[in-house]
Amino acid sequence: MALIVQKYGGSSVADADRIKKVARRIAWSRDRGDQVVVVVSAMGDTTNDLIEMAYRINKHPGDRELDVLLSTGEIVSSTLLAMALKALGYEAISLSGAQAGIRTDANYSGARIERVESKRVVRELNKGNIVIVAGFQGVTDDMDITTLGRGGSDTTAVALAASLDAEVCQICTDVDGVYTADPRLVPKARKLTEIGYEEMLELASYGARVLHPRAVELGELFNLPILVTSSFTQSSGTLIHGGVSMEVRNKVRSVAYDLDVAKITVVGVPDRPGIAVSILKPLAKAGISVDTIVQNASVDKITDLTFTVAKSQLAKAMRLVEPIAKSISARDCVSDSKLGKVSIIGTGMLNTPGYAVRMFSALSEKGINIQLITTSEIRITCIIDESRVEDAVGVLHETFQLEVAEEEREVSP
Ligand code: ASP
Ligand code: MG
């Protein structure tokens, strides 16, 4: 008998019929003799609807109240799922994040799990229950309810799986695995049977929406296998784990994209110590996360500082940066909100310069202008016009022969 944790996303429990279907899938796992802990997201667009309602009532709803409000979405889906399982004749119990022992810090709307006190979950499992835990939420030491940030149910699932020493954490969703590119953009995209933690972390952070990056990080930390699989079809999914063999890691694995990119450039900044801090610190304080940061080599002690933020944060960021730019006598402050990111990812790129050249030539042959470039050891990202992102993903998928199985590719890099 194994212990498994399954997580179902919002679209998998969007209405009563889907909840019943998910219940049957859980029952099937239980029938195989496994102990099952289930983590659920809120039904469909519930979280968005609750946020909208809060802001309609008060432009500053307050972090604490907002988190309690949002946590109710997952409570609704967890109770309904427990009822659906009972209707099928299975023993099941729903638990809120607090009841399941998810203890967090007090950073509302982006709380971090500090520990999982899983005694109650274990007790319920031992009584023979299927345990349904409301995802995305926890409780502070002062018993205040917190939420873990958008998409946080993945993190709940992996944290619970790690603390219960589960065999695997299954992320059950509306796609059946991790692909070489978004199959809606690239019909020839291939499903990966496995992928390592580092590669998955880059993919999740640079646009693949299948899994929250924090969940991947936790999986790696506890060396917990994570299976991304379909909620509704019997397909084998993609296993994220630490033992991916070197051979299959030896190439580009996937192309990711992100359309949520806006850019701010502070032009003509005096190049002296402390300038970057004075521009970026107020943004951090206001909770605006800055992504790519590029400072030009300076000419005559004058430089440009460019960084990117999410499109929804651009207006707020500009309001903060403009006065600072003035106060440090920068020449100008300009922004562009119509950008996107395209990345190639794979551990095979480690120490192999050829990949960058091939990526840039492929983009230039398509007439796609690169505005910014950033890299990690296993990723190369180009920031380009948002209208060219789809083309870029397609051409890169072709250039690196991602539709062909890795061992059969002709070219490397
Ligand atoms: N319901 C939350 C959200 O929509 C958490 C989740 O889905 O994981 O962000
Ligand atoms: Mg959701």
Indicate the pTM of the whole model: 0.91
Distance 114 CA to ligand 1 centre (A): 19
User: Which of 153, 171, 210 has most ligand 1 atoms within 8 Å of its beta carbon, as the pocket-test mutant?
Assistant: 153
User: Which pLDDT value is given to residue 347?
Assistant: 86
Q: Is 69 in the pocket of ligand 1 (CB under 6 A)?
A: no
For residue 75, which ligand has an atom nearest its CA?
1
Distance 9 CA to ligand 2 centre (A): 6
User: Which pLDDT value is given to residue 42?
Assistant: 98
User: Which pLDDT value is given to residue 395?
Assistant: 97
B/e letters for 110-143, b = 16+ CB within 10 Å, e = fewer, are: bbebeebebebbbebbeeebbbbbbbbbbbbeee
| Structure confidence at residue 245 as a pLDDT band (50, 70, 90) | low
CA atoms within 13 A on the CB side of 181: 28
Written as six digits, the tokens of 369 are 């202008």
Confirm if 145 and 134 have CB atoms less than 8 A apart. no
User: Which pLDDT value is given to residue 300?
Assistant: 85
- Tens digits of per-residue pLDDT, 55-104? 999 999 999 999 999 999 999 999 999 999 999 999 999 999 999 999 99
Q: Is 207 in the pocket of ligand 1 (CB under 6 A)?
A: no
Confirm if 140 and 106 have CB atoms less than 8 A apart. yes
- Tens digits of per-residue pLDDT, 118-159? 999 999 999 999 999 999 999 999 999 999 999 999 999 999
pLDDT at 33 over 60: yes
pLDDT at 28 over 70: yes
Confirm if 347 and 378 have CB atoms less than 8 A apart. yes
Distance 23 CA to ligand 2 centre (A): 18
Distance 404 CA to ligand 1 centre (A): 34
Residue ranges matching CATH 3.30.2130.10 in the chain: 254-408
CATH number 3.40.50.2300 is the correct assignment for the domain at 254-408: no
One DSSP character per residue, 16-79 reads HHHHHHHHHHHHHHHHTT-EEEEEEPPSTTHHHHHHHHHHHH-SS--HHHHHHHHHHHHHHHHH
pLDDT at 247 over 60: no
CATH superfamily of 3-174: Acetylglutamate kinase-like (3.40.1160.10)
Q: What is the mean pLDDT of residues 254-270?
A: 95
Residue ranges matching CATH 3.40.1160.10 in the chain: 3-174
Average pLDDT of the chain is: 93
Nearest to 384 by CA among 315, 338, 333: 338
Q: Is 225 in the pocket of ligand 1 (CB under 6 A)?
A: no
Q: Is 42 in the pocket of ligand 1 (CB under 6 A)?
A: yes
Q: What is the mean pLDDT of residues 361-378?
A: 94
Q: What contacts 7, CB < 8 A, 6 or more positions away?
A: 38, 39, 40, 41, 135, 153, 154, 156, 157, 169, 170, 171, 172
Distance 282 CA to ligand 2 centre (A): 30
Q: What is the mean pLDDT of residues 323-341?
A: 94
Q: Is 80 helix (H, G, I), strand (E, B) or coil?
A: helix
| Structure confidence at residue 384 as a pLDDT band (50, 70, 90) | very high
Ligand 1, atom 9, residue with closest C-alpha: 150
Residue 322: how many other CB atoms lie within 10 Å: 16
For residue 47, which ligand has an atom nearest its CA?
1
pLDDT at 249 over 70: no
Written as six digits, the tokens of 138 are 């926890």
